[in-house]
């Protein structure tokens, strides 16, 4: 097998490539911005030349607020790019594993979202990601040439980890400098450790016991839900436990209205992962994953 990791220099891509090198002896192709997935001929030429058996798409435009004024760029990366990868995967009869977001949902409910719940993104970023999800499904389901290849879309949320910007990194920086922080408490979701998402992506690509996952949309996030304020409080506690210098003494809860952003955020975007759990995948608690990450980061100081 040859596995192509798209967006290999991002936070998720780095985690996927590093994990692959530890568990996989086959060929790993890693590309990033030097290969424009928004250009279909470029994608097809790469696939025809290298014939990957699995494509793991970690590339994404994630600047949620910037997407409000540059939706075309967001859609090129998040919508057109996945469409091109899906068409090329069908051509090569390769598996495609793609990452989507909780922001495809409106976020106005109170019960965790299952994969079949009605979609309705509230911002440009969510619309661009939804365009990619729909394009992947359409490319595979319309083709008569896909053979045994499968497509997997993992919707996830609140990603954190090494090698990129995240809420945890922002809090780490601010808590070393500010005596008091204000964090919104009326947006609720499920944090996800990038290492855990990378592991399930690799399994879904055909390595390991989850290879039989049927094509479709799946939810993955670490277990448990919290608000951004609850997340920030846990980060502070974890940093203190790991012996990291923390100047912040108070993390105060505030409403979203007190911190207006260009892109509206869902107030409740908790993902239900029971579908994946029924296939033997049990996400660990987000607090456990957070402690592991903070410990790892602290040891590098």
**Active-site residue list:** 125
Q: Which residues pair with 115 in a beta bridge?
A: none
β-strand 188-189 against 226-227: which pairing, if any? antiparallel
* Distance (Å, whole) CA 203 – CA 56: 11
DSSP letters for 160-172: E-TTS--HHHHHH
Q: Considering only CA atoms, which of 34, 26, 3 is closest in space to residue 16? A: 3
HEC readout, 106-153:
CCECCCCECCCCCCCCCCHHHHHHHHHHHHHHHHHHHCCCCCCCCEEE
Return the structure tokens found at 60: 């994404």
* Distance (Å, whole) CA 154 – CA 56: 11
8-state DSSP, 257? G
CB atoms near residue 261 (< 10 Å): 12
* Distance (Å, whole) CA 214 – CA 211: 9
Q: What is the dihedral of CA 39, 158, 122, 73, to 10 degrees?
A: -20
Are 28 and 19 in contact by the 8 Å Cβ rule? The answer is: no
Alpha-carbon Rg of the chain, whole angstroms?
19
HEC readout, 182-222:
EEECCCEECCEEHHHHHHHHHHHCCCCCCCCCCCEEEECCC
């Amino acid at each position: 097998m040859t596995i192509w990791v798209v967006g290999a220099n991002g936070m998720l891509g780095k985690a996927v490539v590093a994990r692959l090198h530890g568990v996989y002896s086959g060929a790993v192709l890693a590309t990033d911005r030097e290969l424009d997935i928004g250009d279909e001929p470029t994608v097809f030429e790469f696939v025809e030349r290298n014939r990957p058996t699995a494509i793991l798409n970690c590339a994404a435009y994630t600047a949620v607020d910037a997407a409000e004024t540059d939706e075309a760029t967001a859609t090129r990366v998040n919508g057109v790019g996945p469409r091109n990868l899906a068409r090329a995967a069908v051509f090569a009869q390769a598996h495609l594993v793609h990452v989507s977001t909780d922001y495809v949902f409106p976020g106005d409910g109170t019960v965790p979202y299952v994969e079949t719940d009605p979609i309705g993104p509230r911002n440009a970023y969510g619309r661009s990601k939804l365009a990619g999800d729909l394009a992947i499904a359409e490319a595979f389901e319309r083709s008569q040439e896909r053979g045994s290849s499968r497509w997997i879309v993992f919707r996830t949320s609140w990603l954190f980890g090494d090698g990129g910007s995240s809420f945890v990194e922002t809090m780490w920086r601010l808590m070393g400098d500010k005596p008091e922080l204000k964090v919104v408490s009326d947006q609720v979701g499920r944090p996800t450790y990038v290492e855990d998402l990378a592991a399930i992506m690799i399994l879904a690509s055909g390595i390991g016991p989850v290879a039989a996952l049927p094509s479709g949309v799946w939810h993955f996030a670490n277990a448990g839900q919290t608000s951004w304020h609850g997340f920030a409080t846990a980060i502070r506690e974890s940093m203190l436990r790991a012996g990291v210098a923390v100047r912040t003494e108070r993390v105060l809860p505030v409403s979203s209205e007190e911190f207006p952003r260009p892109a509206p955020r869902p107030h409740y975007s908790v993902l239900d992962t029971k579908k994946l759990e029924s296939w033997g995948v049990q996400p660990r608690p987000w607090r456990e994953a957070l402690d592991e990450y903070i410990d790892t980061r602290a040891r590098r100081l």
